[in-house]
Structure 1
Amino acid sequence: MTLQLAFDLPSGEAFRRADFFVSDANAQALAAVEAWRGWPGGKLVLVGPEGAGKTHLAHVWAEMAGAEVISAAKLPEVDLHHLAQHPVAVENADRIAGDTQAEVALFHLHNLLAGRGLLVTATSPPRDWGLDLPDLLSRMQAAGVAQLDPPDDMLLSAVLIKLFADRQIVVAPNLISYLVSRMDRSFAAAREWVKFLDARALAHGRPVTRALAAEVLDLTVVG
């Protein structure tokens, strides 16, 4: 069979509140984000593994609070006074440890916001980021922390369905249960499976099915 060309086009992920699936793994974090007007000091650190939904929740909060969403690494490149005119969600703050300019920028942004709404996302609590700036560390440690846990079966199933839908792919329930029972229990793994199955289906001119997933699984085991 002649292979078709498969281009890895970006999928249109939806970050609306209606697209955020709630389970025991994320219900408490969602409740904390939705109660943002009562955050101590007007700030919250949202913690969870890669792909756990931190970006989705950051956008849900941004919609509620009229906030801007920005990567922590980009803070030195923007006008902080202009940014701080609205609440701000800062993503991946743990990745700027040791970056003096980014640490200083986050410190100044925190002070400019003066408790008017700062959501910070990371994979671990501030004490584990390895920050060099003591004043920034103390301010981040003073924030409340909301935890996103690894997904349970229900949440992982919902996320797989959403990821396929983002690529305009409708799949049968038997594929979802098959993947959930065999894949690594992480959102990052879900993204990789959906991306790979989509690419393989396009390349071979086939639909995304349980049979295709079984073939892919055999390939990964053999490989």
Structure 2
Amino acid sequence: MAGRPTDPGQLALSLEHPARFSRDDFLASPSNAAALEMVDRWPDWPARALVLAGPEGAGKSHLAAVWAERAGARILPAAALGEAGGPDALAAGALVLEDVRSGVDEVALFHLLNLARDQGTWLLLTVAAPPAGWTLRLPDLHSRLRAMPVVQVAPPDAALLRAVLVKLFADRQLAVDEGLLTWLERRIERSFAAARAAVATLDREGLRRQRPVTRALAVAVLGRAGEDDPEEGDPAGDDPEDDPGAPPGPARAGPPAA
């Protein structure tokens, strides 16, 4: 592909695209509107603690990072709660506790919630499912968690997933067409994590094979060998770009960033 590095060192460097979690990088949609509104209205919250609930890949970590930047909060994985210690974890005056779930250190979490309440610390907890449905050993902890306001983040809808794919490709300066976007929409899991993984894989394979990132490459890399593509109206193998010996095609103008 034109303009892409062929040196192995340059190739590895070009693949370093860490996820961007700024407010400007967050794409709003009906699936996350309520959660985004709550993050944006801080510190005007109904309480000093909030639970952000939604499936993996729905954008909870991005929203939590946006709030952490605004509130000056520390971000702590719930799995590390027992090692962090309550006072140290709350020293910034605001804390994001990521991926809280059944099996968490209940004693450490209960003490943390009590200390946060006593100190007036802001808390944002991200969870896969609302705490009301959890099985916990400590009834007082369960009551405390159930009393926290919960805002839901749904998986991205089709329009949001497409916008995310457009932005991820544009961030990597990859020129892609509507056919590839439609193919990916119909086949990858509807989550931000799946979109990032698919784009990263196609970028890597396009570089390795020195081929443009197209639907044909996606079928070759992400689809089953010889898989027909009935939704697109033709077998994937009919595309000449499926021939490994075909010369790389020219890059098209990339889509605008969402």
- Across the two proteins, how many residue pairs are aligned to each other? 215
1:137 matched residue in structure 2: 142
SS in 2 for 1:120: strand
Per the alignment, do residues 208 and 137 of structure 1 end up closer, same or farther by CA in structure 2, a change over 3 Å counting?
A: same
Alignment of 1:17 with 2:23, yes or no, is: yes
Alignment of 1:106 with 2:109, yes or no, is: yes
CA shift, 1:165, in A, is 4.6
Q: Kindly provide the amino acid, as one letter, of the partner of residue 107 in structure 2.
A: V
Query: Among residues 71, 91, 99, which one is paired with 1:92 in the alignment?
Result: 99
* Stretch deviating more after TM superposition (127-136 or 39-48): 127-136
* Structure 2: runs of 5 or more not aligned: 1-6, 228-258
Q: Kindly provide the amino acid, as one letter, of the partner of residue 77 in structure 2.
A: S
Query: Among residues 106, 116, 129, which one is paired with 1:124 in the alignment?
Result: 129
Q: Is the 8 A contact 2:31 2:155 kept in 1?
A: yes
Per the alignment, do residues 219 and 143 of structure 1 end up closer, same or farther by CA in structure 2, a change over 3 Å counting?
A: same
Q: Kindly provide the amino acid, as one letter, of the partner of residue 106 in structure 2.
A: E
Q: Within 2, Cα distance between the matches of 1:206 and 1:164?
A: 15
Query: Among residues 168, 173, 176, which one is paired with 1:172 in the alignment?
Result: 176
Greater Cα radius of gyration, structure 1 or 2: 2
Q: Within 1, Cα distance between the matches of 2:32 and 2:97?
A: 19
Q: Is the 8 A contact 1:87 1:116 kept in 2?
A: yes
Q: Kindly provide the amino acid, as one letter, of the partner of residue 112 in structure 2.
A: L
Point out which structure has higher relative CO (alpha carbons under 8 A, 6+ apart).
1
1:61 matched residue in structure 2: 67
Q: Within 2, Cα distance between the matches of 1:130 and 1:214?
A: 43
Per the alignment, do residues 98 and 178 of structure 1 end up closer, same or farther by CA in structure 2, a change over 3 Å counting?
A: closer
CA shift, 1:104, in A, is 1.7
Q: CA offsets per residue over residues 108-139 of structure 1, 9 Å max, x none?
A: 22122214311000110002232222222111
Q: Kindly provide the amino acid, as one letter, of the partner of residue 116 in structure 1.
A: T
CA shift, 1:20, in A, is 0.3
- TM-score w.r.t. structure 2 length? 0.74
* Structure 1: runs of 5 or more not aligned: none
Query: Among residues 45, 48, 54, which one is paired with 2:51 in the alignment?
Result: 45
2:159 matched residue in structure 1: 154
Per the alignment, do residues 39 and 204 of structure 1 end up closer, same or farther by CA in structure 2, a change over 3 Å counting?
A: same
Identity %: 48
- TM-score w.r.t. structure 1 length? 0.85
